[in-house]
Amino acid sequence: QILAHQSSFFEALFFGDFKESSQSAITLEDVTVKEMLVILNIVYGKQRIQDGSVEDVLRLADKFGMEVILLAAEISGRTVLICIRSSSWPIDIS
């Protein structure tokens, strides 16, 4: 339920009137297992977003309708949380 609460895509998938809501396994297009594990670990608070995965996380957050993503970054030894709303996308992260 935590994932569904964070994502309109998964909320509709798990609790909507889709055949997938009653299946024990589904296939997600254009998402690798590694990318999905990163998203799950971030949503469940087990992992911070690493510098090399920011683009993938933002792409998947957009794909899955995650309206708010918190990016935790280490700046001068302190953790800084940056709130990004999808309405402000696209974001130039280069």
Quick check: 73 pLDDT over 80? no
Which residue in 88, 59, 90, 54 sits closest to 72, CA to CA?
54
Indicate whether this model's pTM tops 0.75.
no
Question: What confidence tens digit (pLDDT) does each residue in 13-69 have?
Answer: 888 887 777 777 888 888 999 988 988 888 887 877 776 777 888 888 888 888 766
Amino acid identity for residue 58 in this structure: L
| CA distance readout (Å), 53 to 13, 18, 34, 48, 50 | 25, 31, 11, 10, 5
What are the tokens at 83?
Answer: 């709130």
Which secondary structure element, helix H or strand E, spans residue 79, and what is its range? strand 78-85
